[in-house]
Amino acid sequence: MRGKGIALLCLLPFVLFYLAFQIAPLVWIAINSFWSDVNQAWGWDNYSDILTSPFYQQAIRLSLDISLWSSLYGLLIALLGGYSLHQLGNGRLHRFFMSFTNMTSNFAGVPLAFAFVILLGLNGCLTLLMRKYGVMDGFRLFSRDGMVVVYTWFQIPLGILLLYPAFDGLKKEWQESAELLGASRWRYWWHIGLPILSPALIGTFVILLANALGAYATIYALTTGNFNVIPVRIAALVSGDISLDPNTGSALAMLLVVLMAIITVIHQWLVRRSYLNAQ
């Protein structure tokens, strides 16, 4: 039994640092979100302030809007690209593409923002090209549409990496049988392909959604904090120059945590369900 006691001691440093840097901040936020500095009282004031303020409502709406669409587009491109890559089978192209995807999945945040300014900014080379050929009257990178494009870009590699293993579940024979029975390609996808992939598709979509909702570095670097989404608002409330109010920041952070928790629970539930289906 003495061995076990010393063994427990070995766990102590890990537990201590995990508590200090993961749990304690979270508990601190949770407690502080209920203290209102304005009223000097405990209660739900911070939350009701956020939920009734048009400014924060806009931030929540924009966050959900950008996350939802970038996840959908990212998922669609990942589905098309990943499936084609899977169909082409193992080979040099496959290996090259997979390591390239791995590489780009780490290319987010500030460097990504810079790359997109050069590409699609006011004098970006693609913007100039589009203007020259009159395709579009110049693209507005610092708008909602611009954010959706940038977010979609960093969702694609993650989507491919998450979705790729699921394509192994599509047996070649099924497509051949469907074809022999006279099903068109669309019917095959609608009745067989997509239903089989659906747990993986929904699971990946949920992770992409969480990824976009929490993203801060890219949008902050692109717009220097002038774009109204939840993570930017949180950061401005705790370390901004104008609107310093850590308690409201805590409440907004808690709202994001709750959103994330809902997403995680849905994800776990879907994962379990897909395991049950597979058995």
Partner 1 sequence: MRYAEKIYHRIIVWLVFLILAVPLAVTLLYALATEWGATIVPDGFTLKWMTALWSDPRFLTALWHSLLICFGSLLFSLVLVLPAMFVIAYYFPKLDAVMNILILLPFAIPPVVSSVGLLQLYSSEPLALTGTPWILIGCYFTIALPFIYRAIANNMQAINLRELIDAAHLLGASTWQAAWLVVLPNLRKGATIAVLLSFSFLIGEFVFANLLVGTSYETLQVYLYNMRNGSGHFTSALVISYFFVVLVVTWLANALNRERG
Residues in region 164-203 near partner 1 by CB under 8 A: none
Q: Which two tokens stand for residue 219?
A: 């949008």
Measure the N-to-C terminal CA separation of the chain; round to a whole number of Å.
41
59 belongs to the binding site for partner 1 (CB under 8 A):
no
Which residue number, 21 or 186, has a Cβ lying nearer to partner 1? 21
Adjacent-strand bridge partners of 42: 35
Chain residues 206-265 in contact with partner 1, contact rule CB under 8 A: 210, 213-217, 220-221, 224, 231, 234-235, 237-239, 246, 249-250, 253, 256-257, 260-261, 264
Q: Are 124 and 118 in contact (CB under 8 A)?
A: yes
Amino acid identity of 113? A
Chain residues 89-108 in contact with partner 1, contact rule CB under 8 A: 93, 97, 99-104, 106-108
> What CA–CA distance (Å, rounded) separates 225 from 122?
18
Q: Give Cα separations from 276 to 18, 155, 164, 229 (angstroms).
A: 33, 28, 20, 38
Task: Print burial letters for 48-84: b (CB count within 10 Å at least 16), e (below 16).
Answer: ebbeeeeebeebbebbbebbbbbbbbbbebbbebbbe
Chain residues 15-44 in contact with partner 1, contact rule CB under 8 A: 15, 17-18, 20-22, 24-29, 32
Which residue number, 55 or 114, has a Cβ lying nearer to partner 1? 114
Q: How far is the CB of 8 from partner 1 (least distance, A)?
A: 8
Give the burial class of 260: count Cβ atoms within 10 A of its Cβ; 0-12 exposed, 13-18 middle, 19 or more buried.
middle
Q: In the set 13, 54, 91, 134, which binds partner 1 (CB under 8 A)?
A: 13
110 belongs to the binding site for partner 1 (CB under 8 A):
yes
71 belongs to the binding site for partner 1 (CB under 8 A):
no
Applying CB under 8 A, what is the total number of residues that bind partner 1?
83
Binding range to partner 1, per CB under 8 A, among 55-63, 87-95, 137-145, 187-195: 87-95
Which residue number, 14 or 186, has a Cβ lying nearer to partner 1? 14
Q: Which two tokens stand for residue 235?
A: 């950061």
Q: Are 210 and 262 in contact (CB under 8 A)?
A: no
Chain residues 111-150 in contact with partner 1, contact rule CB under 8 A: 111-112, 114-119, 123, 125-126, 128-129, 132
Which residue number, 199 or 231, has a Cβ lying nearer to partner 1? 231
